[in-house]
Amino acid sequence: MSDDQTIEAPEVEETDDAYSLDRKAVAQILFAVDRDDREDLVALMDPLHPADIADLLEQINAFDRMRLIRLYDREFDGDILSELDESIREEVIGILSPQVLADAVRDLNSDDVVDLLEDLDQPQQDAILDALEDSDRVAVQQSLTYPEYSAGRLMQREVVMAPEHWNVGEAIDYLRNSDDLPDQFYHIVLVDPRLRPVGNVTLGKLMGSRREVMLQSLVEDTFHVIPVLQYEGDVAYAFNQYHLISAPVVDENERLVGVITIDDAMAVLDEEHEEDVLRLAGVDSESSLSDRVIETTKRRFPWLFVNLITAILASLVIAQFDEAIATVVALAVLMPIVASMGGNAGTQSLTVAVRALATKDLTGSNVWRVIRREVLVGLINGLAFAVIMGLVGLVWFGSPQLGYVIAAAMVINLVVAGLAGTGIPIVLEKLGIDPALASGAFVTTVTDVVGFFAFLGLAVVVLL
Give all domains of the chain, ordered by start, each with its CATH number.
Answer: 23-145 (1.25.60.10), 161-262 (3.10.580.10), 293-463 (1.10.357.20)
| Cα separation, 448 vs 343, whole angstroms | 7
List pLDDT tens digits, range 73-91: 888 888 898 888 877 888 8
- Evaluate if residue 285 carries a pLDDT over 90: no
Which positions ≥6 away from 318 have C-beta within 8 Å? 325, 335, 452, 456
What is the structure's pLDDT at 287?
A: 53
What is the structure's pLDDT at 12?
A: 60
Q: What is the mean pLDDT of residues 191-195?
A: 95
Range scoring the smallest mean pLDDT among 12-16, 314-318, 428-432: 12-16
- Evaluate if residue 43 carries a pLDDT over 90: yes
Range scoring the smallest mean pLDDT among 160-164, 222-226, 236-240, 428-432: 428-432
What is the structure's pLDDT at 105?
A: 83
Q: What is the mean pLDDT of residues 431-449?
A: 81
Tell me which of 238 and 99 has the higher pLDDT.
Answer: 238
- Evaluate if residue 100 carries a pLDDT over 60: yes
Confidence band, pLDDT 50/70/90 cuts, at residue 332: confident
| Cα separation, 245 vs 233, whole angstroms | 16
What is the structure's pLDDT at 282?
A: 58
What is the structure's pLDDT at 288?
A: 56
| Cα separation, 313 vs 308, whole angstroms | 9
| Cα separation, 390 vs 383, whole angstroms | 10
What is the structure's pLDDT at 23?
A: 84
Is the pTM higher than 0.85? The answer reads no
| Cα separation, 455 vs 406, whole angstroms | 6
Q: What is the mean pLDDT of residues 120-133?
A: 80
What is the structure's pLDDT at 436?
A: 73
Give yes or no for a contact between 48 and 74, defined as CB atoms under 8 angstroms apart: no
What is the structure's pLDDT at 15?
A: 53
Confidence band, pLDDT 50/70/90 cuts, at residue 313: confident
| Cα separation, 420 vs 349, whole angstroms | 8
List pLDDT tens digits, range 417-433: 999 989 998 988 888 88
Confidence band, pLDDT 50/70/90 cuts, at residue 7: low
